[in-house]
Amino acid sequence: NKQVIFKDYVPGVLKESDMYITTSTIKLKVPEDCTNGVLVKNLYLSCDPYMRNRMRKLQGSYIAPLNPGSPVSGRGVAKVLDSRHPDYKKGDFIWGMTGWEEYSLITATETLFKIHDKDVPLSYYIGILGMPGLTAYAGFYEICSPKKGEFVFISAASGAVGQLVGQFAKLLGCYVVGSAGSKDKVDLLKNKFGFDDAFNYKEEMDLDAALKRYFPDGIDIYFENVGGNMLDAVLLNMRLRGRISVCGMVSQYNLEQPEGVHNLMSLVPKRIRMEGFLVYDYFHLFPKYLDMVLPYIKQGKIVYVEDTAEGLENAPAALIGLFNGRNIGKQVVAVSRE
Ligand code: NDP
């Protein structure tokens, strides 16, 4: 059983060498004393920014750090090989928390979901039909109180979450602009996802001036994925009673000390609501979300772009790539396709 092992906590920039590959033997049977255990073959693994924060000791974190010396854990799509759980049987496909390894014995089965609809790519269950999809849905509809015609800005807009927020906002009739870190990503936003406009933040010396160019009348909704100086510039460009949905701050995850935010005072005169959220509080909305999004996918009204790294040994580089923008779309690792 090939595995990706997490070495030890990393306070600054995460590197590939903070993980290593090892191989061990595993019996492809759930042990008799493992009540409710499910043994799976991992097909697709998800790379998500939060995983980096499990590799450091973070004060006030909502999720436990990984154990040094253990396989990296994260969401995946897998096939059941053997099961002692009444809800899962051999041959079922599932998604949920699994390990960065070829085979996993899953005992925390409360994190698993059975895959019923296989008319879509299976990897979608760690993207648009999984945690990132629900994040976009809850973070936009539940937190932003969006209305038709409003001006919406999204950072890290071509990523797993951002590309969906933009498409949801367009379907609602909003004016949508996204920022991303390369020309290819900007083209994707405008030509594939249907954003009204997009810009490469790395080419803008003055983010405040850039936002004034794209939003001469200001921003009603900011979907915050990156933090840092982007947030500061956005705060200067919000409209009266604007909403900021704080989904994440990926620019901060590789810093030993988070950067300060300077323009929070803008919240007061403009009566802005800035609200953080965790997708875990919205898992009850999954059925409602799937009812909405599956028809959109099948009718081609929503598209989803994935970036697939081939092979478990490329998983560490794929995770690191999230923090320098190497991924174009949702970063997935294909461990096996059957
Ligand atoms: P992405 O697929 O968007 O990948 C991360 C992207 O962030 C990179 O591709 C890169 O794109 C951008 N990025 C990396 N470093 C920086 C930087 N220093 N400054 C600006 N941009 C940077 O990730 P996700 O869509 O999965 O996640 C987006 C955000 O949502 C993250 O902050 C994540 O933590 C958060 N999140 C929060 C959840 C919640 O429950 N609140 C759940 C899931 C995700 P580019 O080339 O454009 O720079």
Please give the Cα distance from 136 to 154 (Å, whole number): 11
Distance 114 CA to ligand 1 centre (A): 27
Q: Which residue's C-alpha comes closest to atom 11 of ligand 1?
A: 325
What pTM, to 2 d.p., does this model score? 0.97
Distance 279 CA to ligand 1 centre (A): 14
Ligand 1 neighbours (beta carbon < 6 A): 48-50, 132, 135, 156, 158-162, 180-182, 185, 225-226, 247-251, 277-279, 322-323, 325, 327, 330-331
Please report which helix (H) or strand (E) contains residue 319, including its range. Answer: helix 315-321
Q: What share of the chain is helix, strand, coil (3-state, %, to 5)?
A: 30, 25, 45
The minimum-distance atom of ligand 1 relative to the CA of 278 is 40
Query: 75-109 burial string, b = 16+ CB within 10 Å, else e?
Result: bbbbbbbbbbbeebeeebbbbbebbbbbbbbbeeb
Q: Nearest 5°: phi and psi at 131?
A: -60, -50
- Where is average pLDDT lowest: 93-102, 105-114, 120-129, 184-193? 105-114
CA distances from 37 to 34, 64, 84, 116, 202 (A): 5, 22, 5, 20, 47
Domains of the chain: 2-127+305-334 (3.90.180.10), 131-280 (3.40.50.720)
Distance 35 CA to ligand 1 centre (A): 38
pLDDT of residue 314: 98
pLDDT band at 79 (very low <50, low <70, confident <90, very high): very high
213-237 pLDDT, tens digit per residue, is: 999 999 999 999 999 999 999 999 9
Amino acid at position 314, single letter? N
pLDDT of residue 107: 94
pLDDT of residue 254: 96
Please give the Cα distance from 338 to 331 (Å, whole number): 19
Distance 85 CA to ligand 1 centre (A): 35
pLDDT of residue 61: 84
Q: Which of 45, 204, 250 to mutate to test the pocket of ligand 1 (most atoms within 8 A of CB)?
A: 250
Please give the Cα distance from 26 to 105 (Å, whole number): 9
Q: Nearest 5°: phi and psi at 334?
A: -90, 115
CA atoms within 13 A on the CB side of 77: 25
238-282 pLDDT, tens digit per residue, is: 999 999 999 999 999 999 999 999 999 999 999 999 999 999 999
- Among 135, 146, 84, 151, smallest CA distance to 281 is for 135
Question: Is the pLDDT assigned to residue 60 strictly greater than 90?
Answer: no
Helix axes 228-235, 207-214, angle to 10 degrees: 50
Q: For the chain, how long is the longest CA-to-CA vector?
A: 66
Q: Which residue's C-alpha comes closest to atom 10 of ligand 1?
A: 325
Distance 24 CA to ligand 1 centre (A): 33
Q: How far, in whole angstroms, is CA 65 from its chain's centroid? A: 18
